[in-house]
Amino acid sequence: MELEDRLITAIRSAARVRVAYVCYSGGVDSTVVLAASVRAGLETIALLGVSPSLAASERADAHRIAAEIGTRVKEVETNEMELAAYRANAGDRCYYCKSALYDTVLALAATRNSEEVIFVGTQIDDLGEHRPGLQAAMERGVVAPLVDAGFKKQDVRSLARSWNLSNADKPAAPCLASRIPVGVAVTPQRLSQIEAVEEFLRHHDIWPARARWHDSVVRIEVAPEMFERVTSEPLRDELRRACRKVGFRFVALDLGGLQTGSVSLPLVTS
């Protein structure tokens, strides 16, 4: 098919070596790159960056999906929490996060005797967004075969469906740090609070969802069709207790529904 041919060609053009490292998250974009690399005949290693900003559920899901493809996953501990610029969360957090990941991958690749290529799942629709992590990739020569093949998000999902990938329609799952407002420090404790609330929601089939951190307030974002369920007993009281258990005093349901980038705004403006 045309989409498959375009992507396989892009991968083979970029990979003049036998080994491909795929920076892999379990999302549909990186999964398609992973599957395409295998289909292109490369020795393919999925590298999953592990840190406090990766939810345990996403970590487990990434392993499950890679197993479906028949690819081994190598977990790499990344050290972005050690970087003051990352913790400061000044709007360019992703640059330092991705820099830590790619530097770890490059160091790993350097231990081998052969040359490798490093692939990421960036696609064309990502290029028009504020993504400081893309700069980190370009600085390190990381290859984005989906961009080279001219893939938009709809193309990625279309190819994933044709390959029967189980996450073809998986919603976007940004890292836990994306729930903390710009200008507020990222800490392991805050990430843990966010993960606990989101895990509760996921366990009760309220998903996708976001637990936005605002000090003593957790702002819950879910699709409008889930509003009634979230606010009905006994789930409402169970959710309130789960939030208080991890340190939130107040729970707010955002009537705007599930939004992208809403955490970049403060809860209250003067």
pLDDT of residue 262: 56
Q: Which position has the token pair 């190819």? A: 159
Mean model confidence pLDDT for the chain: 91
Residue 269: pLDDT over 50? no
Please, which pLDDT band fits residue 132 given cuts at 50, 70 and 90? confident
Cis amide bond preceding 208, omega within 30: yes
Q: Are 204 and 81 in contact (CB under 8 A)?
A: no
- What does the pLDDT look like over 171-210, one tens digit per residue? 988 999 999 999 999 999 999 999 999 999 999 999 999 9
pLDDT of residue 224: 97
Distance in angstroms (rounded) separating the CA atoms of residues 154 and 168: 10
- For residue 224, CA distances in Å to 190, 209, 221, 259 come to 26, 11, 9, 11
- For the chain, what percent of residues have pLDDT higher than 90? 77
Average pLDDT value for residue range 123-148 = 85
Residue 265: pLDDT over 70? no
Residue 129: pLDDT over 80? no
Where are any strands of DSSP class E within the chain? 19-23, 43-50, 73-77, 116-119, 209-214, 217-222, 250-253
Please give the model's pTM, rounded to 2 decimal places: 0.91
pLDDT of residue 215: 97
Distance in angstroms (rounded) separating the CA atoms of residues 202 and 207: 5
Please, which pLDDT band fits residue 261 given cuts at 50, 70 and 90? low
Please, which pLDDT band fits residue 116 given cuts at 50, 70 and 90? confident
- Secondary structure of 224-243 in HEC code, one letter for each residue: HHHHHHHCCCCHHHHHHHHH
pLDDT of residue 270: 39
pLDDT of residue 14: 80
